[in-house]
């Protein structure tokens, strides 16, 4: 048993007070020769953890070999519409140690991903390879730097044991930090069992943990739906604004907290194209970049369906209440997206023609196969000539309209540029650079990843150190593909 004094763990375990159908008490499976690959020291400190203690003895916790004092490990049950098909699921390779209470009273789940078999493993080995775990570390921390709500990565350890997939790979475990791991699929699971009282307990718990401001509302379950709709609309708008493609937007990968969760076959778009798909398993393009806003609404409709027994005793009235809330999603998403895109163009106020102005730029980028991130950086620094073959009549006409639109604001050039600098990242985790880091890591060279993480820490710095990392990949006829990593 690892004591609180040694490492600063301060666990609570409120989730185990929920109905037993929602979890199974499960210890992580110990590993033979764990080694620490990376520790997120800043995150550890914010959680109230002792970095020195973690570096000395924390590896045994991160590997699942020792349970911290106060932890009650569980595997969570949930369901999910996976590529549209409903399945009863659960943590097949993850163990929730408990909820860390931070010095300022915050509450965060501490989960070991790749910690071995659980009752929900469905025949799998419950393990993970080092590549997908480091990918999640890199991308989740990059998302944090981009100011997008996300789960975080505290540590990655290798296990000293082989993982058998298409090839033999080094095993690894990721320690994930989240506001919670309650998902749309968590609600679908308990509703699927037909247990209304248990559903109500889950909903009340979720409100208390994430939306306490609505706990006294007369229709608090309807208010819960309303708040989750707002959170998800804002989150997906942020994804679109930076060109992030989640890759596997199943309902079990939509967190009720409004955080981005599960960085499996995710990636960032280089050349702007709404049809962009990276995931090797998304053969139909269901989760393509341009489809993400619509899938967000579809997933929320499934959440609304799970809440129907709580919304009204009359089924028709419950359905109408749910539909009324879901119908607001598109408008809320659109407002968030438009405001974010306006900021990228240095626009502080709103005009009716802004939508067309934005769409014209995106159409030009798509037609001319321009890099999404670098186009906005070029606009920020008034250096569109830095983009190859960009001098066209359509772009010149667009630029004139854009400048006229900026000039109608009562803002100085300095204020406009400051807004654009804060809204357009200089760097994103480019796919080819992530792959370079993962290839090097497979050979136990973690320096490439370390440099990439340092550059991604403040993507809005626009520093000289970021110039090399802003370069898009060399042209290729071979499409980039990502893999789920399970």
DSSP code for 57: I
Phi, psi of 154 (to 5 degrees): -90, -40
Phi, psi of 181 (to 5 degrees): -110, 25
Contact 212, 224 (CB under 8 A): no
> What number of helices (H) and strands (E) belong to the chain?
17, 13
In angstroms, the CA 47 to CA 104 distance is: 9
Identify whether 465 is a catalytic site residue: no
Catalytic residue among 91, 252, 262, 282: 252
What is the C-alpha radius of gyration for the chain, rounded to an integer number of angstroms? 23
Contact 293, 304 (CB under 8 A): no
Closest CA to 172 of 76, 36, 372, 12: 36
How many other β-carbons are positioned within 10 Å of the β-carbon of residue 168?
Answer: 10
Phi, psi of 24 (to 5 degrees): -135, 130
DSSP code for 212: G
In angstroms, the CA 170 to CA 230 distance is: 40
Pair type for strands 128-129 and 94-101: unpaired
Distances (CA, A) of 174 to 124, 244, 355: 18, 22, 41
Pair type for strands 168-178 and 152-164: antiparallel
Compute, in degrees rounded to 10, the torsion defined by CA atoms 438, 439, 440, 446: 20
Q: How many CA atoms lie within 13 A of 14 on its CB side?
A: 18
- The secondary element (H helix, E strand) that includes residue 336 is helix 329-344
How many other β-carbons are positioned within 10 Å of the β-carbon of residue 480?
Answer: 14
Helices marked H in 270-328 — which ranges?
292-311, 315-326
Residues annotated as catalytic (active site), given as ranges: 252
């Amino acid at each position: 048993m690892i004591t609180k004094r040694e490492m600063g763990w301060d666990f609570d375990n409120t989730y185990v007070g929920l109905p037993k159908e929602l979890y199974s008490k499960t210890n992580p499976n110990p590993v033979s020769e764990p080694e620490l690959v990376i520790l997120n020291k800043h995150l550890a400190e914010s959680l109230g953890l002792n970095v020195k203690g973690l570096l000395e003895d924390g590896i045994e916790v991160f590997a699942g070999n020792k349970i911290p004092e106060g932890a009650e490990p569980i595997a969570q049950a949930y369901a999910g519409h996976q590529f549209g098909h409903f399945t009863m699921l659960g943590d097949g390779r993850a163990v929730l140690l408990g909820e860390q209470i931070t010095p300022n009273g915050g509450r965060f789940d501490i989960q070991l991903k790749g910690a071995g078999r659980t009752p929900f493993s469905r025949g799998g080995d419950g393990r993970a390879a080092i590549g997908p775990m480091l990918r999640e570390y890199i991308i989740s921390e990059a998302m944090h730097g981009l100011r997008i709500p996300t789960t975080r990565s505290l540590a990655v350890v290798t296990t000293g044991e082989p993982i058998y997939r298409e090839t033999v790979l080094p095993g690894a475990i990721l320690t994930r930090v989240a506001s919670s791991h309650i998902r749309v699929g968590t609600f679908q699971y308990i509703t699927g069992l037909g247990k209304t009282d248990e559903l109500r307990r889950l909903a009340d718990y979720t409100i208390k943990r994430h939306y306490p401001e609505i706990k006294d509302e007369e229709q608090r379950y309807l208010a819960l739906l309303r708040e989750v709709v707002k959170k998800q609309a804002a989150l997906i708008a942020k994804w679109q604004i930076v060109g992030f493609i989640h890759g596997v937007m199943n309902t079990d990968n939509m967190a009720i907290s409004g955080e981005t969760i599960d960085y499996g076959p995710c990636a960032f778009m280089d050349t702007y194209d709404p049809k962009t798909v990276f995931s090797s398993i998304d053969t139909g393009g269901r989760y393509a970049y341009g489809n993400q806003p619509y899938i967000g609404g579809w997933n929320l409709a499934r959440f609304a369906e799970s809440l129907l027994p709580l919304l009204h005793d009359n089924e028709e009235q419950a359905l109408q209440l749910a539909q009324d809330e879901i119908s607001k999603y598109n408008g809320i998403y659109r407002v968030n997206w438009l405001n974010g895109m306006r900021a990228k163009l240095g626009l502080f106020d709103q005009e009716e023609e802004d939508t067309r102005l934005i769409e014209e730029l995106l159409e030009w980028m798509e037609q001319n196969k321009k890099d999404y991130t670098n186009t906005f950086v070029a606009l920020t620094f008034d250096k569109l000539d830095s983009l190859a073959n960009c001098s066209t009549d359509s772009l010149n006409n667009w630029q004139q309209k854009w400048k006229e639109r900026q000039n109608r604001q009562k803002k100085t050039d300095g204020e406009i540029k400051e807004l654009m600098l804060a809204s357009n990242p200089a760097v994103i985790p480019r796919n080819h650079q992530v792959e370079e880091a993962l290839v090097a890591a497979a050979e136990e060279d973690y320096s490439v990843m370390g440099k990439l993480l340092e550059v991604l820490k403040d993507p809005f710095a626009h520093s000289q150190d970021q110039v090399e990392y802003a370069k898009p990949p060399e042209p290729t006829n071979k499409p980039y593909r990502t893999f789920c990593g399970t």
